[in-house]
Structure 1
Amino acid sequence: MAKKPLKLVARTTEDVEVVSALLQDATVKVGDMTYRPGERRFACVVNRYRWEGRDGRRRRRGERVRAGVHADFVQAARVQNLSLDQHETVLDLLAIRAEVREGGPETLTFVFAGGAAIELTVDGFELVLEDISQPWRARRRPEHALD
């Protein structure tokens, strides 16, 4: 039986928190990310760890799935601690943060392990997450050391 693919659209800071949680520990190659200023879009294809389980229960075996992620209404993109010409570099996504600044622009920041980040200045939130493959068994479950 095929598993139903996930598709979510985030339009508020609270929505972005949900998408961020679902994308925690996703891996992405630098070459699988693109910013298209003419389309006002940032897009990437990630290997998402499926944290969600059936009926809200935790999964016994971990799975990953390919997922497309894109943000629309992007006015500008800025990178930090990231070399865009190293296409094969694999990044671990920790979170996506949405920020509304009083009197200023809204931002979506993709935060990666190792201090790398991509900050998008956006004209309103429109962040889409869509699974685009069937899941496969993950080699391991992501772990986070507590400080």
Structure 2
Amino acid sequence: MSTDATFQDGAERPLRLVAMDGDDVQILSALCQDAVFPATEMQWQRKSRRFGILLNRFRWEDIPVAERTGRAPERVQCVLAVENVGHVSSQGVDRADTDTVMSLLSVTFEPQDGDGGAVILTFAGDGAIKLEVSDLEIALRDVTRPYASVSGKAPSHLD
């Protein structure tokens, strides 16, 4: 008999998650909320049908440990990769502006006929990217060690 994982099980291990349905996407979205990255860190590889972003993800899963130990909250660099992408469209996103720092608010999936649909990346400031996929597969993988959040606190949407 297996048991559910706990926060302590993944405390110092890099995340490696794959979303294959709408419920999985909700979990992935919660972990990616408030991730920041330069607009230049997005790439669509048309031939391989992959869209990827190198994110600086806030480690929401680490908040209980940080609060208990009194250390600063952390961020970690990770790759968000969406597979099976046939078309990309955007609104309010200027990849040519190298000074733009994007803040990811959510990742959602809108199913369509069959296994396909649209993955929507919503950013602060009314920007969005729509990725039309033939089959849902999104991977999130931490690629660096965690580092102290520059602000020293968790992001807040109340300000």
Deviation (angstroms), 1:87: 2.6
User: Which of 52, 58, 69 lines up with 1:49 in the alignment?
Assistant: 58
Q: Is the Cα contact below 8 Å between 2:78 and 2:142 reproduced in 1? A: yes
Aligned counterpart for 1:19 among listed residues 6, 28, 31: 28
1 or 2, which has the higher helix percentage?
A: 2
Per-residue deviation at 1:145? 1.9
Q: TM-score, normalised by structure 2?
A: 0.84
Q: Show the counterpart of 2:4.
A: none
How many angstroms does 1:3 deviate by?
2.4
Asked if structure 1 preserves the Cα contact closer than 8 Å seen for 2:19 and 2:136, the reply is yes
**What is the alpha-carbon root mean square deviation over aligned residues?**
2.0
Q: 2:40 aligns with which of 31, 36, 41?
A: 31
Larger Rg computed on CA atoms = 2
1:92 equivalent among 103, 108, 120: 103
Give the superposition deviation at 1:138: 0.5
C-alpha distance after superposition, 1:31-64 (max 9, x if no partner): 100011111010010000000038xx36323100
Deviation, structure 1 residue 102: 4.8
Q: Which runs of 5+ in 1 are unaligned?
A: none
Instruction: Check whether the contact 1:77–1:120 (CA below 8 A) recurs between aligned residues.
Output: yes
Residues 51 and 58, structure 1, Cα contact 8 Å, conserved in 2: no
Q: Is the Cα contact below 8 Å between 1:52 and 1:59 reproduced in 2? A: no
Partner Cα distance (2:98, 2:19) in 1:
28
Deviation at 1:139? 2.2
> For the residues of structure 1 that align with 2:36 and 2:60, how far apart are their CA atoms?
14
Contact 1:78/1:120, CA 8 A, preserved across alignment: yes
Quote the residue 1:144 is aligned against.
157
Per-residue deviation, residues 73-110 of structure 1 (Å, max 9, x unmatched): 00100010111211331010000011113579500010
C-alpha contact 2:58 2:74 (8 A) present in aligned 1: yes
* Rounded Cα–Cα distance in structure 2 between residues aligned with 1:95 and 1:14: 14
- Give the Cα–Cα distance (whole angstroms) in 2 for the partners of residues 126 and 87 of structure 1: 29
Conserved 8 A contact 1:51-1:59: no
What does 1:3-18 align with in structure 2 at a 5 Å threshold?
3-18=12-27
Counterpart of 2:7 in structure 1 is none
Percent of pairs identical after alignment?
33
Opposite residue 123 of structure 1, the aligned amino acid is S
Aligned length: 143
* Structure 1 SS opposite 2:96: coil
Q: Secondary structure at the match of 2:61?
A: coil
Q: How many Å separate the matches in 2 of 1:127 and 1:117?
A: 17
SS in structure 1 at match of 2:56: strand
CA contact (8 A) 2:35 2:57 kept: yes
